[in-house]
C-alpha cells in the first residue's frame, strides 16, 4: 500500500531533525514517545567499518501501534477498506545502504517475491515475502494464548516483535547482507506525514484513473495532497508493469519528500517540526541504536547521492492460486553484493556469488543424515527433474550431520539456488575437496523436504524456465526499470 512513504517517514523525520538546527533539545527529545523495538537483537550480524544498512518496513495495517482500529473516516478517505483489510503484510521493504564514501544505494524488494522461509516462519517453506511478518505474528500470539496470556496489549507487542524478527531474517537470507537498523511505519503514517508536508510534487508520464486506489491524476508535474499522494503510491491496477511500476512511483515519491524537506526553508518553523515529530511518535517504530550521529549522517545527504533500484524478478507465475514473483536468489545476492561493495558492507559469512551454471553442468551429491528412509533418493530425483546431474547418494562422511549445502569452484550460485529450492536457510559454504561444478547437500536430523519443493525448480540467471506449474498468467515480462537517481523529480508511469 503506502509502501515508500513508510520508509519516507523514517528517513524524512531524521532529515528534518538533523537539518533544521533546532538544537540539542530536539535531538535528545526525539525518542520521547517513539516505540523502540529490540527485534534486531544484539547478536544479529552487523556491518563492519563505517558503511551501514537500514531496512525500511511499511506495514499495510489498518491498526495503530497498540492494535486498535484506525478511524473509519480516515480509511474512507484513503480508499483502504476497513480495519480487517491488509492484515500485517509488509507491502514496503526498502534496503538502504549508506556507503563509507557518503553515497547511498537503495533496493526496493517487491512484496510478492516468492522466497524460502524454512526455519524462519513456523509451518512454512515458501511464501510471498510480504507475509513473513503477519504469519509469524499470528503464530506467536497463538502460542502465547495457549500459554494462558490474555492481555491484548501483550499479545500485540510480542506478536509484532516476532513478526519484525522474521522479516529481518528473511531479508538477510534473501540479500546476503546484514541489517544494522530498521524503521517501521503503518498505513496512517503516510497520510499523516503527507498532510503535515502540505503537498508533495510528483511527475506522471501518463494520466491515470483507478477506482481501486482512488487515483485520478493528469500527466505531468503536479503537487498532490495527502489523499492523492496515498492513491499515487498505492495504485497498481491499470499500470503496464503492475506492482513494479508502483515500486517506481514509491521511489520517486521518496525522492520528492527528501527534496522538499531539504530545500524548503519552511521546515525551520518549530510548529511544523513539532507536528512532524508528533507523526513520528504516533506512527513510527525504530530499532534500538538510532542516535544523534545516525540522524545527522542521514540529514547531511544530498539528493543526488541517492540511487534507487528494484530487485529483479525473473517472471510472474501463479502458485497455489496466488500471483507471485519468481526470483533468482543467487542473482539477487550477487547484485546486492556488487552494489554494496564498499568495505564492510556484506556479511562475512556470505561469499559473493558468480552467475549460475546451467543445471546440466552441476552435479549434486545428497547425504541423508536425517534417518528418513529414501530421503536422499527423493531429493536427488527432484533435483534431477530440475535439470541437475545426479551425484552420489548417502555418501556419508564423518561429522556430516547438520543440514547444509557446500559447493566446489564455479558452483556457488547454483548452490544458493538449490538451497532455496530445498528450504535450507544456512548460507552455502565453499569446500576445497569438492570438484568444480559439484554441490553437496546434507539433510540433517529433523529436515523435511518442503511440500512445494517438487514444483519449485531453481531460478537460474537469465530468466530460464523455473519449472513451476503456471495457472494461466498473462502478465507482461517483469521490468524492474533503470535505477532512479535522487538528483531531481523523476517522471514515472
DSSP conformation letters of 21-70: ---HHHHHTTTTT-EEE-TT-TTS----TT-EEEEEEEE--SB-TTSPBP
Count of CB atoms within 10 A of residue 28's CB? 10
How would residue 137 be classed by pLDDT, with cut points 50, 70 and 90? very high
Residue 39: predicted pLDDT: 95
State the maximum Cα–Cα separation within the chain, in Å, rounded to a whole number: 71
Residue 158: predicted pLDDT: 96
pTM over the 0.85 mark: no
- Residue 123 or 266, more confident: 123
Nearest to 382 by CA among 486, 314, 456: 456
Count of CB atoms within 10 A of residue 400's CB? 15
Residue 13: predicted pLDDT: 45
Per-residue pLDDT, averaged over 449-468, amounts to 46
With 90 as the cut, is the pLDDT of residue 262 above it?
A: no
With 50 as the cut, is the pLDDT of residue 467 above it?
A: no
How would residue 78 be classed by pLDDT, with cut points 50, 70 and 90? low
Nearest to 241 by CA among 268, 269, 205, 276: 205
Q: 315-363: per-residue pLDDT in tens? A: 888 888 888 998 888 788 888 988 898 644 444 444 444 556 778 889 9
What are the chain's domains?
Answer: 3-348 (3.40.630.190), 359-455 (3.30.70.2390)
Residue 343: predicted pLDDT: 42
How many angstroms separate the CA atoms of 30 and 292, rounded?
A: 9
- Residue 259 or 308, more confident: 308
Q: Is 76 exposed, middle or buried (0-12, 13-18, 19+ CB in 10 A)?
A: exposed
Please tell me which of 45-54, 158-167, 171-180, 400-409 the model is most confident about, judged by mean pLDDT.
Answer: 158-167
Q: 373-400: per-residue pLDDT in tens? A: 888 998 998 888 877 899 998 766 656 7
How many angstroms separate the CA atoms of 454 and 381, rounded?
A: 9
Nearest to 128 by CA among 145, 111, 146, 143: 111
- Residue 31 or 119, more confident: 119
With 50 as the cut, is the pLDDT of residue 465 above it?
A: no
Q: What percent of the chain has pLDDT over 70?
A: 71
Amino acid at each position: 500500500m503506502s509502501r515508500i512513504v513508510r520508509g519516507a517517514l523514517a528517513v524524512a523525520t531524521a532529515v528534518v531533525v538533523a537539518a533544521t538546527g533546532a538544537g540539542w533539545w530536539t535531538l535528545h527529545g526525539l525518542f520521547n514517545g517513539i516505540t523502540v523495538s529490540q527485534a534486531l537483537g544484539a547478536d544479529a550480524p552487523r556491518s563492519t567499518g563505517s558503511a551501514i544498512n537500514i531496512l525500511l518496513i511499511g506495514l499495510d495495517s489498518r491498526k495503530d501501534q497498540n492494535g486498535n482500529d484506525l478511524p473509519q473516516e480516515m480509511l474512507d478517505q484513503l480508499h483502504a477498506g476497513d480495519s480487517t483489510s491488509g492484515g500485517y503484510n509488509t507491502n514496503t521493504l526498502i534496503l538502504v545502504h549508506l556507503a563509507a564514501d557518503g553515497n547511498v544505494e537503495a533496493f526496493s524488494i517487491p512484496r510478492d517475491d516468492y522466497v524460502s522461509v524454512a526455519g524462519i516462519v513456523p509451518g512454512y517453506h515458501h511464501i510471498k515475502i510480504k507475509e513473513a511478518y503477519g504469519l509469524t505474528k499470528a503464530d506467536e500470539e497463538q502460542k502465547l494464548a495457549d500459554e494462558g496470556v490474555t492481555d491484548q496489549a501483550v499479545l500485540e507487542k510480542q506478536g509484532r516483535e516476532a513478526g519484525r524478527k522474521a522479516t529481518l531474517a528473511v531479508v538477510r537470507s534473501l540479500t546476503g547482507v546484514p541489517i544494522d537498523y530498521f524503521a517501521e511505519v503503518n498505513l496512517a503514517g503516510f497520510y499523516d506525514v503527507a498532510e503535515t508536508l502540505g503537498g508533495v510534487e510528483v511527475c506522471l508520464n501518463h494520466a491515470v484513473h483507478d477506482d481501486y486506489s482512488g487515483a485520478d491524476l493528469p500527466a505531468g508535474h503536479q503537487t498532490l495532497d495527502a489523499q492523492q499522494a496515498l492513491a499515487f503510491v498505492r495504485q497498481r491496477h491499470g499500470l503496464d508493469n503492475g506492482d513494479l511500476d508502483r515500486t517506481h512511483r514509491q521511489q520517486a515519491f521518496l525522492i520528492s519528500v527528501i527534496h522538499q524537506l531539504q530545500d524548503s526553508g519552511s521546515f525551520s518553523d518549530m510548529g511544523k517540526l513539532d507536528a512532524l515529530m508528533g507523526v513520528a511518535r504516533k506512527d513510527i517504530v525504530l530499532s534500538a541504536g538510532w542516535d544523534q550521529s545516525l540522524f545527522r549522517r542521514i540529514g547531511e545527504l544530498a539528493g543526488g547521492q541517492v540511487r534507487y533500484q528494484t530487485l529483479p524478478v525473473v517472471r510472474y507465475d501463479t502458485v497455489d492460486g496466488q500471483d507471485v514473483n519468481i526470483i533468482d536468489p543467487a542473482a539477487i545476492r550477487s547484485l546486492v553484493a556488487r552494489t554494496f561493495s564498499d568495505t564492510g558492507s556484506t556479511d562475512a559469512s556470505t561469499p559473493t556469488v558468480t552467475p549460475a551454471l546451467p543445471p546440466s553442468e552441476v552435479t549434486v551429491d545428497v547425504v541423508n543424515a536425517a534417518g528418513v528412509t529414501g530421503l536422499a533418493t527423493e531429493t536427488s530425483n527432484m533435483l534431477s527433474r530440475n535439470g541437475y546431474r545426479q551425484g552420489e547418494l548417502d555418501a556419508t562422511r564423518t561429522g556430516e550431520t547438520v543440514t547444509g549445502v557446500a559447493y566446489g569452484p564455479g558452483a556457488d550460485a547454483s548452490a544458493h539456488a538449490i538451497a532455496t529450492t530445498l528450504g535450507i536457510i544456512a548460507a552455502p559454504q565453499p569446500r576445497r575437496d569438492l570438484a568444480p561444478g559439484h554441490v553437496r547437500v546434507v539433510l540433517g536430523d529433523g529436515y523435511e523436504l518442503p511440500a512445494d519443493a517438487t514444483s519449485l525448480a531453481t531460478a537460474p540467471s537469465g530468466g530460464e524456465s523455473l519449472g513451476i506449474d503456471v495457472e494461466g498468467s498473462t502478465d507482461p515480462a517483469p521490468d524492474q526499470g533503470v535505477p532512479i537517481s535522487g538528483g531531481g523529480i523523476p517522471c514515472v508511469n
